[in-house]
């Protein structure tokens, strides 16, 4: 039954998202082609600027939309006027929550995969690698793997997005236990949980930096290769733990019952 729920949630959330994802990749290819032609002809250069602006707008939207649609669909499924249909399905509450989490994971990963493909189409080349390495060299004393660094960064951003979705889902469930000011309470709980998670990450990061011998009182932050990767991995692990905590808290409170009045 979980597979049917997942298929239903993906169908609702991804109705037109595939068009957005495909458009991001197509626009990247068109823009890259126009920019190459624009090296010799001014017309193509001007046209390339227009398409590049359009690409960035679509690319940003392809990241924001899955994020927004997931927690809006979470609210609609469990607390809107149509929620009675969800609550009468012959499934467990755990399966309902699992479906929402899996939907969020699939959509966020898909959106970032499409974004990465489009960015590679737009900028892949020796100059991109050189610029990236120059940027990294300003904070890391040793040479690091470009591929590994980019992979860890993408994973870090994905789990961060998933963490905020898990916090918002939890906050909706807690906030809607009340009979008044539900949205305001959900918002305040989201802010509080987000701040608490950020402070937790900050404390852990400071400990990791101290262990790696980084002078926290220094005016410049220069990391060793080991310290750099330690910070990246610490962020990924911390965000993953936060996701797990709110996942189980969400299931725990959701199983206690839902107030849809």
At 10-55, the pLDDT tens digits run 777 777 788 888 889 998 888 888 888 877 777 777 888 888 888 8
Residue 115: pLDDT over 80: yes
Residue 222: pLDDT over 80: no
pLDDT band at 219; cut points 50, 70, 90: low
Q: What is the CB neighbour count within 10 angstroms for residue 166?
A: 25
Residue 234: pLDDT over 80: yes
- CA 68, chain centre distance (Å): 11
The tokens 């849809």 sit on which residue?
260
Mean pLDDT of 58-67: 87
What is the token pair recorded at 190? 């989201």
Residue 216: pLDDT over 70: no
Residue 85: pLDDT over 90: no
Mean pLDDT of 102-129: 86
Residue 128: pLDDT over 90: no
What is the token pair recorded at 70? 């997931």
What average pLDDT does the chain have?
Answer: 83
Mean pLDDT of 222-228: 79
Q: Tell me, what's the pLDDT at 217? A: 63
Residue 103: pLDDT over 70: yes
Between 210 and 25, the more confident residue is 25
What are the backbone angles phi and psi of residue 50, rounded to the nearest 5°?
A: -60, -50
Among the listed residues 183, 249, 17, the one whose alpha carbon sits nearest the alpha carbon of residue 9? 17
pLDDT band at 220; cut points 50, 70, 90: low
């Amino acid at each position: 039954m979980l597979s049917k729920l997942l298929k239903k949630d993906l169908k609702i959330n991804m109705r037109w998202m595939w068009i957005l994802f495909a458009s991001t990749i197509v626009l990247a290819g068109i823009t890259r082609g126009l920019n190459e032609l624009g090296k010799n002809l001014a017309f193509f250069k001007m046209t390339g600027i227009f398409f590049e602006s359009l690409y960035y707008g679509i690319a940003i939207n392809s990241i924001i939309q899955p994020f927004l649609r997931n927690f809006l669909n979470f609210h609609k499924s469990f607390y809107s006027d149509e929620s009675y249909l969800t609550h009468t399905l012959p499934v467990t509450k755990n399966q309902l929550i699992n479906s929402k989490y899996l939907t969020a994971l699939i959509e966020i990963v898909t959106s970032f995969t499409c974004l990465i493909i489009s960015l590679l189409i737009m900028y892949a080349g020796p100059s991109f690698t050189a610029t990236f390495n120059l940027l990294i060299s300003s904070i890391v004393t040793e040479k690091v793997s470009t591929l590994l660094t980019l992979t860890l960064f993408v994973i870090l951003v994905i789990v961060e997005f998933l963490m905020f979705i898990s916090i918002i889902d939890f906050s909706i469930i807690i906030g809607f236990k009340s009979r008044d000011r539900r949205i305001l309470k959900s918002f305040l709980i989201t802010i509080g949980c987000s701040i608490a998670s950020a402070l937790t990450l900050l404390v852990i990061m400071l400990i990791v930096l101290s262990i790696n011998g980084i002078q926290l009182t220094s005016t410049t932050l220069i990391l060793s290769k080991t310290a750099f990767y330690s910070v990246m991995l610490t962020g990924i692990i911390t965000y993953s733990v936060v996701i797990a905590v709110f996942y189980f808290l969400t299931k725990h409170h959701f199983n206690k019952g839902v107030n849809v009045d």
